[in-house]
Each structure stands twice: as structure tokens, then as C-alpha cells.
């Protein structure tokens, strides 16, 4: 008999208890490791973001639950090893929030959102050794590269470091990319070009990850129009493809 209480309504403690049962009784759950479900953490976070983007509250409720499950799952694995449990995770997060909100829990003055963020960044930098270079290098490598580039550039800028004029830099990187030969050189220069493009986005106050997401959606709509309107793409001339593409643009797709 499974030691679990069935209820009409469950809470956080029930989810924690349910994970204990699953790790003990389910062959699949029992075999998982941090590494084996690492990708699930990323996917669930993105699915929650999609629910936010679509404004679907029912979907958001479901996806937030899936994100929470990942947190509980990883914490349970560590509890089994005697390292820490979900309460330790909550404890650490509460202490961090209290520490980084001295305008609420201390005597620091912060009347605007910008002042709050400035305090947060200063405290975070102090927590990481008091140097800006550590705040830059500590940006997670697992982030999408556009997002990682934006965060690194933003943190560097807060130190007083002056990046080159974004448009001049972009133009120079385009020329270097065009002139590159060989796969390794091209990879290096394309990376520099994308990094420069992120700096342009920052100068415009644009989230580069979101901007590229919108462009991907736009490309899909226009590609769909070209194929639906023109038929088989393999037999279509380049001129006709460009003509249909321009039509899609004029249609607002």
C-alpha cells in the first residue's frame, strides 16, 4: 500500500511528499539524475514563458507546476545523498531576498525601481568578491547565447566600461565576417558579429532574445505564404520566390 494521502486539494508539502513516493516506487523516477533531467528544467522554463506570452492563464498554472516539479525533483535527489533538502533551498532563497532588499529589511533608502536594482547589483557584486569581472564571468554558460551576451554586456557597462560605438562595431564585424575564410575563422567572426548585434539591441533598449524570437515567427509566416501561394519551392525560380516574399511583407506577414 502506497503511503500517500489522497485529497481533494493538494499543497506544496504534498508535492514534496509525492516526489518521495515516486523516487521510491517508480522505476523511471528512481533512475533519474541531475544530468538526465537537466534539459527538462530548461524546457519547462521555456514552456512557462510561452504561457506568459500567450496570456493563457490555465496553461501558465500547469507550466508553473512543471517548473516547480523540477525544483522539487532536484532537491529530493540531494536529500537522498544527505546534502540538502527543499527546506534548505527555501531557506537560502529567503535569506538572499532579505539580504538584497535592505530598503525593506534594513535602513537603506530606495524609492524607485532603478534604485532597488542598483542596490541589488551592488550587493550581488559584493557577495561575489567585490569585482565586476566576477559578475561578468559568472553569467551562466547554459543561458541562450543572445541572452548571455546581453547580460554580460550590461554588467560590464555598469562598471563604467565603455563598449565601442555599437554601429561602428557592427560595421567592422560585418566586414571581418565577410572576409573570413575557413570554418574556424568564420565561426569566430560570426560570433563577434552576433555579439556586436546584441550591443546594437542594447543601445536601442531592445531584448535581443525577444527580438530574434519575433523575427523567427515572422520568417515562418512569410515562408508559409510563399509555399502556399507559389507551390513547390524546388521548381520555383529565385526571382519568383523573392516576389512572393515581398508580397508577404506587403501583406503585413
Residues 193-248: tens digit of each pLDDT: 999 999 999 999 999 999 999 999 999 999 999 999 998 888 899 999 999 999 99
Contact 111, 92 (CB under 8 A): no
SS3 231: coil
Average pLDDT over residues 82-89: 97
Whether CATH 3.10.180.10 fits 12-86: no
Q: Which pLDDT tens digit goes with each residue over 149-190?
A: 999 998 888 888 887 899 999 999 999 999 999 999 999 999
Using left for φ > 0, alpha for ψ between -120 and 50, and beta otherwise, residue 180 falls in beta
pLDDT at 118 over 90: no
pLDDT band of residue 126 (cuts 50, 70, 90) is confident
Phi first, then psi, for residue 33 (nearest 5°) are -130, 175
What pLDDT is stored for residue 217 in this prediction? 93
Q: What is the mean pLDDT of the chain?
A: 92
The whole model's pTM is what? Answer: 0.73
pLDDT at 15 over 90: yes
Q: Which residue has the higher pLDDT, 160 or 28?
A: 28
Q: 71-83 b/e with 16+ CB inside 10 Å = b?
A: ebbbbbbebeeee
Amino acid at each position: 500500500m502506497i503511503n500517500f494521502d489522497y485529497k481533494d486539494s493538494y499543497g506544496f508539502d504534498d508535492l514534496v511528499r509525492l516526489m518521495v513516493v515516486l523516487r521510491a516506487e517508480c522505476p523511471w523516477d528512481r533512475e533519474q539524475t541531475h544530468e538526465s533531467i537537466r534539459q527538462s528544467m530548461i524546457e519547462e522554463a521555456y514552456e512557462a514563458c510561452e504561457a506568459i506570452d500567450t496570456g493563457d492563464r490555465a496553461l501558465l498554472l500547469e507550466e508553473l507546476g512543471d517548473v516547480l516539479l523540477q525544483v522539487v525533483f532536484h532537491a529530493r535527489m540531494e536529500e537522498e545523498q544527505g546534502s540538502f533538502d527543499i527546506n534548505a533551498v527555501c531557506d537560502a532563497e529567503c535569506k538572499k531576498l532579505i539580504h538584497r532588499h535592505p530598503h525593506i529589511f534594513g535602513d537603506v533608502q530606495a524609492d524607485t525601481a532603478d534604485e532597488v536594482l542598483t542596490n541589488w547589483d551592488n550587493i550581488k557584486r559584493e557577495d561575489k568578491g567585490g569585482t565586476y569581472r566576477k559578475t561578468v564571468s559568472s553569467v551562466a554558460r547554459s543561458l541562450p547565447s543572445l541572452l548571455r551576451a546581453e547580460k554580460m554586456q550590461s554588467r560590464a557597462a555598469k562598471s563604467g566600461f565603455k563598449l565601442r560605438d555599437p554601429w561602428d562595431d557592427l560595421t567592422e564585424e560585418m566586414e571581418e565576417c565577410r572576409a573570413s575564410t575557413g570554418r574556424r575563422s568564420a565561426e569566430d567572426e560570426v560570433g563577434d558579429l552576433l555579439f556586436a548585434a546584441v550591443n546594437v539591441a542594447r543601445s536601442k533598449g531592445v531584448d535581443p532574445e525577444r527580438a530574434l524570437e519575433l523575427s523567427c515567427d515572422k520568417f515562418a509566416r512569410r515562408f508559409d505564404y510563399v509555399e502556399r501561394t507559389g507551390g513547390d519551392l524546388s521548381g520555383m525560380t529565385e526571382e519568383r520566390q523573392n516576389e512572393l516574399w515581398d508580397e508577404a511583407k506587403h501583406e503585413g506577414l
